[in-house]
């Protein structure tokens, strides 16, 4: 008889305790402990325990000196998706394990089904615990991609999954999703902390010992964090967050952790009938092509990761009907906008205290780059004065509490992107030193105070 033991796990962070606790000592959350049954056995006699003969390697492990370790440059697997290659740091690293999380219906399964189908000549196994083979086939038919090396397995038991893996010997595995799998060595239900941790550990062992890359699709909680224990993020090599508003066509694949590349990269996609399409030049799409000059619109030169973007900031300032004026934002920090309104009140004498203010970042993006401050401020002033900003001007600058325009980093990338899209002027901070204006066709205007920008745009 196997020895059965009861443990209590924090559903927020995965902390294990032999008894129930009201408050988790690790994450300080209340009432998060749930009892789970754990079956302890002598590890492990099933197919996942021994991968020595999987790819012809002996699997012998011994202590070696660091000087004896021979490094070899393993080529990455380059996918047909340039945005995914960018986010992963140049392609899929053999033996890596990647966790992808996002809201329900955002397009995670579609993106990675499409990625697997496009890897022609590479044996790919798609493991689904959520959908039937018929559902996946219907989605693949919509994508209109034919691949004879793409295989499906609809199963939740890891013992059966690893037995099938030994038969097929795939070169890439996609798991959709890790929360639906269950290991026979744990008696708790699928989706519990102990099951997620055990299943992820089995796939981690498989990936490292066979040098086979594994993509694990995961769920998120209602707070937006990745569901399951925090140790899940520590176990994997790369964590990707797939985000965006499902009511908009655009999605952002953002890197939260990457052992093989930068965590500052993002990939931008557009959802359409044929699946996820990589957006190679997002600035052209995010800026509205309009013939008439409209007030309350300014273009900001921002950065998302290593990529410069030009985005449209829309503001609407109206007379407040009620006693307390409204402050509504979409895609921007509300407290940051209130700070900019206070700067305009104090330093410029504009009476926003009796106005309703609405702010929107076009395209459904959420921007945290402080260099967007100047464009937000100009859009607010444009709507306040009901004067349109010339459509050939864009902005890049952070605004301080004293009304000064502060310097932002990598200004030359922003200027080059604005020049590429045909803008004639860009207003930046006077404190950005070392800008060689002669090498740009665009006119670079440097200013130090918000008052200077107001006079230049609305009083000249």
Name the binding residues. Answer: 102-109
- Note whether 139 and 115 are within 8 A (CB): no
Q: Which helix (H) or strand (E) holds 451?
A: helix 450-458
The residue assigned the tokens 């990529």 is 307
Cis omega before residue 351 (within 30°)? no
Q: Where does residue 339 rank: exposed (0-12), middle (13-18), buried (19+ CB within 10 A)?
A: middle
Distance CA 330, CA 337 (A): 11
Binding residues for ATP: 102-109
Show Cβ contacts of residue 323 under 8 Å, excluding neighbours closer than 6 positions.
Answer: none
The distance of Cα 222 from the centroid of its chain, to the nearest Å, equals: 17
Copy the structure tokens of residue 6. 């009861």
- Note whether 194 and 38 are within 8 A (CB): yes
Radius of gyration over every alpha carbon of the chain, rounded to an integer in angstroms: 27
Distance CA 239, CA 236 (A): 7
- CA-nearest of 439, 458, 10 to 221 is 10
Distance CA 52, CA 17 (A): 35
């Amino acid at each position: 008889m196997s020895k059965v033991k009861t443990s209590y796990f924090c559903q927020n962070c995965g902390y294990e305790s032999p008894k129930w606790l009201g408050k988790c000592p690790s994450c300080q959350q209340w009432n998060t402990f749930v009892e789970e049954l754990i079956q302890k056995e002598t590890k492990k006699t099933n197919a996942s325990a021994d991968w020595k003969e999987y790819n012809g390697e002996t699997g012998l492990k011994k202590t070696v000196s660091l000087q004896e370790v021979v490094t070899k440059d393993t080529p990455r697997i380059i996918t047909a998706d340039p945005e995914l290659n960018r986010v992963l740091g140049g392609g899929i690293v053999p033996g890596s394990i990647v966790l992808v999380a996002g809201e329900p219906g955002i397009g995670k399964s579609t993106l990675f089904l499409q990625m697997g189908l496009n890897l022609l000549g590479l044996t790919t196994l798609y493991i689904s615990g959520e959908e039937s083979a018929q559902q996946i086939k219907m989605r693949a038919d919509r994508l209109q991609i034919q691949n004879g090396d793409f295989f499906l397995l609809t199963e939740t038991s890891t013992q059966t999954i690893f037995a099938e893996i030994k038969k097929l010997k795939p070169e890439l595995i996609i798991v959709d999703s890790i929360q639906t799998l269950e290991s026979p060595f744990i008696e708790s239900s699928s989706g519990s902390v102990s099951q997620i941790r055990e299943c992820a550990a089995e796939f981690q062992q498989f990936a490292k010992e066979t040098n086979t890359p594994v993509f694990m699709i995961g769920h998120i909680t209602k707070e937006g964090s990745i569901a399951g224990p925090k140790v899940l993020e520590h176990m994997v090599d790369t964590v990707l967050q797939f985000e965006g508003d499902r009511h908009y066509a655009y999605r952002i694949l953002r890197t939260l952790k990457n052992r093989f590349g930068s965590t500052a990269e993002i990939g931008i996609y557009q959802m359409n009938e044929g699946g996820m399409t990589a957006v190679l030049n997002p600035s052209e799409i995010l800026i509205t092509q309009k013939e008439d000059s409209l007030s309350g619109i300014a273009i900001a030169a921002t950065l998302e990761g290593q990529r410069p973007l030009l985005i449209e900031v829309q503001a609407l300032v109206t007379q407040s009907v009620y006693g307390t004026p409204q402050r509504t934002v979409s895609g921007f920090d509300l407290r940051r906008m209130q700070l900019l309104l206070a700067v305009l009140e104090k330093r410029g004498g504009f009476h926003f205290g009796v106005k309703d203010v609405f702010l929107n970042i076009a395209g459904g993006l959420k921007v945290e780059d402080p260099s967007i401050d100047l464009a937000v401020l100009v859009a607010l002033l444009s709507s306040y004065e009901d004067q349109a900003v010339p459509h050939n001007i864009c902005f890049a600058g952070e605004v301080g509490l004293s009304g000064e325009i502060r310097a932002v980093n990598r200004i030359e990338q922003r200027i080059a992107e604005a020049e590429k899209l045909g803008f004639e002027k860009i207003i930046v901070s006077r404190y950005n030193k070392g800008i060689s204006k002669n090498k740009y066709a665009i006119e670079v205007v440097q200013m130090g105070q918000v008052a200077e920008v107001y006079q230049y745009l609305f009083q000249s």
